[in-house]
Amino acid sequence: MKAFYIETDIRVATYDIDFAGHVSNISYLRWLEDMRRTMFDKYSPFSEFIARGMTPVLVSTEIKYKRPVRLFDEPRGFMCISDLTKTSLIVEAEIFVQNTLVTSARHVGVFVDIATMKPVRLPPSFVDAVYASANVSRATN
């Protein structure tokens, strides 16, 4: 599945650069957070979840750094939801510089009840939106 797909340019700022002259690991996490926010804003805004007393949270992040990104590089990020279960979602991302894959990432997320901070099932309207954006029928999955 390739749902909630987005593409975005990423700006490398001077504060992204570490003492070794390339982008710091923490900057990649911030870029991925910005990409997830863009993805949700486009397809399923956080405000809708908050109104229902729930919010998505990450339970794990895996990042593979394949090549360093430097100050004057012009990265382009790609992100999508690649899989769902009853209670979790998988978000995958790739960052390219000049058509070369430099970073890949995989997040596992869940929705939690804001009052209890305990995981809840994925909201049916969210699941419907995910499948609709991927042009995949829920019945086939």
- What is the tens place of the pLDDT at every residue in 45-83? 989 999 999 999 999 999 999 999 999 999 999 999 999
- pLDDT of residue 139 exceeding 70, the answer is no
What is the pLDDT at residue 100? 98
Kindly report the average pLDDT of the chain as a whole number.
Answer: 94
Distance (Å) of CA 67 to CA 60, 74, 103, 118: 22, 13, 7, 37
pTM, to two decimals: 0.91
| DSSP bridge partners of 107 | 61, 91
Question: What digits encode the pLDDT tens for the residues 80-107?
Answer: 999 999 999 999 999 999 999 999 999 9
Whether the pLDDT of residue 141 is over 50: the answer is no
Domain annotation for the chain: domains and CATH numbers: 3-134 (3.10.129.10)
The lowest-confidence range among 26-35, 59-68, 85-94, 129-138 is: 129-138
In angstroms, the CA 3 to CA 42 distance is: 12
Tell which residue, 71, 72, 79, has the closest CA to residue 95: 79
